[in-house]
Structure 1
């Protein structure tokens, strides 16, 4: 929803601002308190006083901001978006937050609040923020404003102007001395101030007694004084006017009625009443409301006569009524013509709808309390708003509809169902689909309605059901539905067909099927272009980017994801839930390329808002990369916390694939850290069999099957079940090769190579490692090697010992990986033992036992015979020992362990 620029500057005072020294000096109190509240009834000069403080601070070089609040800030998201827009107008303070003011469809209030607070925290100098008309906020937005003040950094000082603050919690700040309060008694004009105001405005000379009388009648209410001033300007006898003037609220209403409204020509009166419901007055809109030409001339005449109208732009094309005068006019309209307020709101809604300004039309239909009109507008515009990425607006205006009204709005219901699916509230989405199905069934039973329109609704219901299945990670069902929907939609509904292609790509990827990916992507892009909705490309690029990444097409994947990220920023601003769709897969890509800084930025910016719109693919990428980033920095505790949080998300959303990915990562890290018992405990949650039976890749294998098998193989390696582990790893390696699943194939080759090395077959291990490097070279996959530790380093070094001078691309990439091993800034495992500089991780009982025997001078074969292990297994355990003690030679590793008292 567009934001008026006038919200961010103090309103102009047509009569000038009186310098009230006793109040102006109170600006110093603003700088001494976290919050200053100016609370008084309407028209007591709250805005004027804050505007004076604002200007004085600004002229002194202080950083200041202004926000006039309205009923449009009717949610936490809308409020924080407006605050972000305000900060965006302050040079150097909030530039990056500006896009949120224009696109709030995917705005996440908590995430943006964090960004706003961070930007303010980064500003070292004091910041003064003025919020006018706080009473316009509803309870939700008011609570959000209170939270903003509570969390703002210490150098930020806030001032509120409000008629009441019942929704703002002030008790705590009052108790801690952080609150400064000004009430109506302090704001009331004194005789001297009123005299200066009247004199400065050119009022006829009044005696001190007459001024005192006027102040008494108005009780120091500045608006009453100004109304009196206007009245006196038209009165032939100012003294008599003062005597006759009433300072009570009702007297002011009588003044509007008798001396302002009643004094206008009948055509002016009618114009004022017929345009009273408008927040913005333009000539064309006013002509539509009144049915008469010449509105532009009328508006300029009203301004010239000072009839409580304010020009909103330099060209004089847009105006608004003074809020108190507008309230009077609406009250007058309601009193004189019952039902007229709703009628004129409907008229405004119809005009805005005809102009294509759907949001404004919906707002007036809502104000008219006309459910039928609101439903009609939503139904006619549901698809358009959806395709433009504004489903949130549909949900916002549909929120107040009754169940009966919603039952007549299937397109609206289906749009909201899609929104609920994006946030993975699939149960609510299913409930909404049931409402739409019931409506269609009623149409079918009554033999009413356009058959083509009914069929289109049925097809849309199928589309939403497919999207729900995708959110629930049911790839086989999704693929089946997508193939049917492509035949149904064809090119007739290009936007929906484009989304179907995106879901089809995801479903096929989950089932290790990458054939025809390029053709699918090309068809989808063509449909997205044909639809005319650029928004369609964001989810498409996320889905296809993930597929290209899994297929090892890293460069093409990066292009698709980066384009999607740039497009999402145009729609929802940076660091949005929409952006997370592409940012988190891109973080995975950057991490694998060993660009840890870029991966960290993407995860930090987008994982916090990922629950807003992301599916299991994005959640898995984001959470696993975050854990690996912690581990790569030596922060085992951070990695554990990251995985624990990911597991909570998996359980909340019933996402089995995410749960298995977390278990796999937990097992991998624990085994590398010498904690096989703990790894086994975590693996138990995957409910794997003791034997690998049933874990091999079948024709309908999915990535969940791949994860279950990988967990089993790692546990089997720690238990010395090498033959079974190797057989299963080779099955998956061959399967991935046959399906073109390069990323997964790299991992299986690395695992199989380690098993072969443990089994004492270094040549076979080197051969598979070379195959992994060949796969990885085109995909720029580096971290898959580094994260497995020095056991992989040993195999790589031996495999490429004779090719270090080769210029073959694969050999060059192998050297790149070896260089990455050597240049790691921290140890490859996760935590330095406190107080033991140079010792990383905890040695397991088996590793300590082997290291003790090494210290006794025993060779690997002798140790294996003593402990019932193969010679290769002993070598594998020693590689883990080297990782943890930071030493590459046997004798030095023994000496280091003795220094720490780990062995005798």
Structure 2
């Protein structure tokens, strides 16, 4: 190492990149709190386009803000051991403002064999610094073998004051396996770097404000699958358009919209052979090296796949797995090019895919490819073998897709296929079609008790989705005491039905006991969908009783698991999200509740239980009202009413109208309330006679509550008491905890206004609301109940230490950005006085002006500036400011 002055390229390699102006600092990725990121050694490993460098830039700012010196190094293929060590010396010099650091190392004769001895000297000198140092090595996977070995040596011998963050696309975890195993290092993978839907909403809001709503942001998340590069490309395209929402609609329209130019930019640098390879393998959903070899008939295909996965940002890879997939944005565009291939070429690729997938037990995928290849009979055979299992695994959309492909004669020949179709239809808005399919199954020969039992389960599910609880009980009751074998997949389905039966009969605790009697091992692997239905039942029972914290403890983990396995827009995932959103709203986590519902209401309309649909729309309407969009809240409730009409679910219509009555009663709009109550009465009169007692009881509670609210809107307080009492009795019988507390408080309010005797029942309602953590129950029932609760709290009637029952929620504006002048960040590199001098220097003050501002003499100013210039390796005042900005020691300079 013959010279002490760094080359130009070393200077550029050790300069940290400028953080993007639109960088969103994601709270869960903070270096101090992220799992794995708190270790002394942190490895960030993900494919291209996952935002590794942006994350490192975010962490660099955090480390600087905590006073550490941050050394940055961009590695490349030329960094052998000697060159890499020279770069390490220079980056520590620049970061720590120690121009003399490593002088003996630089002056030592360089030789590859002696690089490790010199690295030891580098570590020892670093350990003697009175500084906490963070070394960030980006693109560490590009290091040649000798440079990688030197980095590995540094990782295993880092002193206490050195923290190392290394980032790369692949291969970093293998040399550091021992450090990872013993907890001395943390690994951050692609799943952690993917944007979540709430982060996508925050990013889009940061860029476009109110011009793009949460639903559109969630759609963008689903289009890009949270892929940071895909999000960035999409946001860039949207920012160039006059209407960003229209640009997003264009992007969502498919590959012939904005996707083609976006993806074309990613693929433009590929060779024609690589592009042909990607077009060919885009025929399949998931990729494996051996599958690619079978598709292309090329023994080198696995190596080509590995290279493209490493060098191009078009693949989604899994940690410690050979399986990967093309990113949805990219695959959609590639499939348009695949469609342009000759018919014989496409059919051959489908045929090859069907053979390979079928041989490995992936029967449904093999069936789809066989059908596309024209091998219809083989496709129907594979579908018959696989679709019943697909139902057990929750792949209902897959089964309904096959319904479009299957001719009626094939269903007649294959009753097992018809049974799978009936299941998928029953668990959706198409429950009447399910009944017809079941009738055809039962009409076939060989309908034994086991088949009749499964058909009863299908029909009871259809009745539940049709919001006919009495029919559900009638259909299931003959089989309730004859459960299937405990090792059958139907055992969990039977337990779910028993739990639903107990809920409808007003026994939620009994429903939970029945679920707990089923151990997860009894149903076998691959049936997690059925288990999640059990979790949903348990969560609903807690929610029915008003036990929101207990409900959340069950539903939140189930939601995370369902999103990972079934996808964000799977019907069961959306039902979990709706229940979790209602809980988040109750706990005053309004933004979280909105994110949970974003771009999910349409799925809930088509394929959710009526009770869950009500929860979702009611929560969405209350969120809109809370944000000051009363017209949007009323529109959502009218949409719920329209859906009730379209799906012939009159209870949804009554719920919508009752919720509107409550909203208008809070503003004493008596005539509007009377008109809505008249509509409720008409619906009840029309449908009550044809319905059973359970349905009638639930609707009569809503009807009585609406009548009480209408009387309250007229301020006829005495007339409001009786309907509220009647509704409260029904809520108590049905064990509806939140509704009972709301009705108790409303009755107390009417009593207080009528005779001054409502204080005692109101205190009881208040106490119950605190006990069950129902934070918004009173303010949702009537605004003046919230004022009454506040007065009670101010009068000292709230026990000490208890949380307020009415959350002081106002939609919080984003924090204002700092508007002051230049600010020197806390750092161990500069003394407090030097930081003060640096700030004054950045304001272009003369020495005399700095002396007056700092209340020191001009000589003292000159002495501090001399030390500052030396630490920053600067030759002038302007140079010192620019060096401080580059090192992250100064911000706020224009």
Q: Structure 1 residue 630: deviation in Å? A: 1.7
For residue 817 of structure 1, report the CA deviation from its aligned partner.
1.9
- Does the 8 Å contact 2:644/2:653 carry over to 1? yes
Higher RCO, 1 vs 2 (CA within 8 Å, ≥6 residues apart)? 2
Partner of 1:205: none
Q: Which residue matches 1:554?
A: 548
Counterpart residue number, 2:705: 710
Counterpart of 1:894?
none
The separation in 1 between residues aligned to 2:413 and 2:198, in whole angstroms, is: 39
Match of 1:742 in 2: 737
Structure 1 residues 519-547: Cα deviation after superposition (integer angstroms, max 9, x where no partner): 12213564775465222233322232122
Match for 1:384 among 378, 389, 393?
389
Instruction: Report deviation, 1:405.
Output: 0.8
Paired with 1:798 and 1:315, the residues of 2 have a C-alpha distance of 66
Matched residues in 1 for 2:304 and 2:810: separation? Answer: 62
How big is the alpha-carbon RMSD for the aligned residues of Structure 1 and Structure 2? 5.4
Question: Which residue number corresponds to residue 116 of structure 1?
Answer: 223
Shift of residue 554, structure 1, vs aligned partner? 2.0
Distance 1:686 1:532, change over 3 A: same
Q: Which residue of 1 aligns with 2:475?
A: 481
Q: Is the 8 A contact 1:541 1:561 kept in 2?
A: yes
Matched with 1:499 is: 493
CA displacement at 1:286 relative to structure 2: 10
**Counterpart secondary structure, 1:657:** helix
- Counterpart of 1:680 in structure 2 is 674
CA drift of 1:612 comes to: 4.5
Aligned residue among 361, 364, 380 for 1:359: 364
Could you tell me whether the CA contact under 8 Å between 1:769 and 1:795 is conserved in 2? no
Counterpart in the other structure of 2:810:
825
Classify 1:771/1:327 alpha carbon distance in 2 versus 1 (closer, same or farther; 3 Å).
closer
> Would the alpha carbon gap of residues 518 and 673 (structure 1) be closer, same or farther in structure 2, given more than 3 Å must change?
same
- Asked if the contact 2:498/2:511 (under 8 Å) is kept, the reply is no
* Distance in 1 (alpha carbons) for counterparts of 2:621 and 2:452: 43
1:607 to 601, 624, 648: 601
Contact 1:476 1:507 in 2 (8 A): no
Shift of 1:7: 14
Gaps of 5+ in 1: 10-87, 99-107, 130-141, 163-181, 183-200, 202-221, 227-275, 290-295, 335-340, 445-450, 828-904
- In terms of mean alpha carbon deviation, does 790-799 or 142-151 score higher? 142-151
Structure 1 residues 804 and 507, CA gap change in structure 2 (3 angstroms):
same
Contact 1:471 1:616 (C-alpha < 8 Å) held by counterparts: yes
Give the equivalent residue in structure 2 for 1:650.
644
Task: From the superposition, tell whether residues 378 and 790 of structure 1 become closer, same or farther in structure 2 (CA, over 3 Å).
Answer: closer
Between the aligned partners of 2:683 and 2:652, the Cα distance in structure 1 is 20
Maintained 8 Å contact 2:586/2:775: yes
- Mapped contact 2:495–2:514 kept (Cα < 8 A): yes
Alignment deviations for residues 770-789 of structure 1 (CA, whole Å, 9 cap, x no partner) = 22123222321121112244
Distance 2:219 2:450 in 1: 38
The structure 1 residue matched to 2:762, chosen from 736, 748, 769, is 769
Per the TM alignment, residue 361 of structure 1 is displaced from its structure 2 partner at its CA by 2.7
- TM-superposed deviation, 1:549: 0.9
Residue 684 of structure 1: how far off its partner (Å): 1.7
CA distance in 1, matches of 2:473, 2:716: 37
Residues 1:754 and 2:749 aligned together: yes
**Cα 1:460–1:113, aligned 2, differ >3 Å: closer, same or farther?**
farther
Residue 560 of structure 1 and its aligned partner are, at CA, apart by 1.4
Partner of 1:792: 785
Give the conservation status (yes or no) of the 8 Å contact 1:371–1:401.
no
Task: Tell me the residue number matched to 1:442.
Answer: 444
Distance 2:352 2:379 in 1: 13
What's the TM-score, normalizing by structure 2?
A: 0.54
The answer on whether the counterparts of 2:579 and 2:616 sit within 8 Å (CA) in structure 1 is: yes
Say whether residues 1:516 and 2:518 are aligned partners.
no
The whole-number CA distance in structure 1 between the counterparts of 2:285 and 2:584 is: 51
Could you say which residue in structure 2 is the equivalent of 1:580? Answer: 574
Q: Quote the offset at 1:637 in angstroms.
A: 1.5
* 3-state DSSP of counterpart to 2:700: helix
Aligned-pair CA distance for 1:482? 3.6
1:215-226 mapped onto 2 (5 Å cutoff): none
Change in CA separation of 1:486 and 1:595 when aligned onto 2, cut-off 3 Å: same
Shift of 1:582: 0.6
Distance 1:545 1:631 in 2: 26
Alignment of 1:332-347 (within 5 A): none
8 Å Cα contact 1:128-1:158 kept in structure 2: no
CA shift in 2, pair 1:467/1:597, >3 Å? same
Map 1:388-403 to 2 at 5 A.
388-403=393-408
Q: What is residue 417 of structure 2 aligned with on the other side?
A: 412
Distance 1:457 1:325 in 2: 43
Verify the 8 A CA contact 2:487 2:523 in the aligned structure 1.
Answer: no
Query: 1:735, 1:405 → 2: CA distance?
Result: 50
For structure 2, which runs of at least 5 residues remain unmatched after alignment? 1-45, 51-188, 200-214, 239-248, 277-282, 310-321, 324-334, 813-894
Q: Distance in 1 between matches of 2:636 and 2:741?
A: 25
Structure number, greater radius of gyration:
1
Q: How many positions carry a matched residue from both structures?
A: 567
1:589 maps to which of 573, 583, 588: 583
SS of 1:423's partner is coil
* Separation in 1, partners of 2:597, 2:285: 45
Q: 1:282 to 1:591 in 2, by over 3 A?
A: closer
Q: Secondary structure at the match of 1:621?
A: helix
Native 8 Å contact 2:744 2:762 kept in 1: yes
